[in-house]
């Protein structure tokens, strides 16, 4: 099991492993929230420590940079591709082609800029343990959102997303991922945490519908974009409550 978990960690972070393969990672996708816990604890601790002696804006900038370093910006790239595909006019095939284009379009650039600015602003409005909490819970929910999307959606094309969608049709795996996600929210989430959790689920379902309408289903880029969108939305809702 440790080898399988290490494969999942390697897929979602920059941690290298010699035994990662797509089928194994897809099979254990329901463990994504555990990786979210690990990332959240690490980055949340960094944010908590820095907030004790640095200006909130500087702390938030360093936290966003830390997230980018730890995750390797894999899903941010998916956000850019998702935006490019969504804003492309024409058929589903044309939109899918735009997502696969290696060159990032204007929609993709704008979406990434807005995402980074939004995250920095949101994080700058919190400090201390509260900052630790929102980083941790937002990261867990972001990872659960990908599990939920794979369970609810269908593949737009045969590709890297297909094994994940196929494996997550087992509702027992979704239930395990949900329990892993719920435990931290029950311990430190407070009422606001459950509102954020409900919002994250609603946003994920909305993105499934949008992706099905525009692309005929979900893709790897859509899964990555969902991770980023749900993380940012969670941070913004937390600091707004």
Question: What is the pTM assigned to this prediction?
Answer: 0.95
**Cα separation of 227 and 144, whole Å?**
8
Structure confidence at residue 6 as a pLDDT band (50, 70, 90): confident
Residue 231 has pLDDT above 70, yes or no: yes
Tokens of 135: 């980083």
What DSSP letter does each residue of 119-140 carry, written as one string? Answer: HHHHHHT--HHHHHHHHHHHHH
For the chain, the straight-line distance linking the first and the last C-alpha, in angstroms and rounded, comes to: 39
**Cα separation of 33 and 37, whole Å?**
6
CB 64 within 8 A of CB 135: no
Structure confidence at residue 112 as a pLDDT band (50, 70, 90): very high
What DSSP letter does each residue of 148-159 carry, written as one string? Answer: HHHHH--BSSSS
Q: What is the DSSP letter of 170?
A: -
pLDDT at 14: 86
Which among 227, 138, 237, 241 has a CA at the least distance from the CA of 188?
Answer: 138
């Amino acid at each position: 099991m440790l080898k399988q978990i290490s494969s999942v960690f390697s897929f979602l972070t920059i941690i290298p492993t010699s035994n990662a393969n797509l089928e194994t990672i897809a099979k254990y996708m329901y463990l994504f929230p555990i990786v979210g816990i690990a990332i959240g604890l690490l980055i949340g601790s960094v944010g908590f420590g820095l907030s004790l002696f640095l200006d909130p804006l500087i702390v938030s900038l360093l936290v966003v940079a830390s997230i980018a370093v730890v995750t390797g910006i894999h899903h941010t790239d998916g956000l850019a591709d998702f935006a490019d595909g969504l804003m492309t006019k024409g058929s589903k095939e044309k939109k899918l082609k735009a997502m696969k284009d290696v060159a990032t379009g204007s929609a993709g650039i704008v979406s990434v800029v807005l995402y980074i600015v939004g995250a920095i602003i949101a994080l700058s409005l919190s400090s201390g343990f509260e900052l630790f909490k929102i980083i941790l819970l937002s990261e867990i929910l972001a990872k659960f959102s990908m599990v939920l999307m794979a369970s609810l959606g269908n593949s737009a094309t045969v590709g890297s997303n297909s094994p994940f969608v196929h494996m997550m049709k087992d509702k027992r795996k979704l239930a395990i991922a949900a329990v892993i996600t719920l435990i931290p929210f029950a311990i430190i989430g407070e009422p606001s945490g459950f509102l954020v959790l409900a919002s994250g689920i609603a946003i994920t379902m909305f993105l499934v519908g949008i992706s099905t309408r525009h692309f005929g289903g979900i893709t790897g880029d859509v899964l990555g974009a969902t991770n980023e969108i749900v993380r940012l939305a969670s941070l913004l809702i937390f600091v707004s409550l």
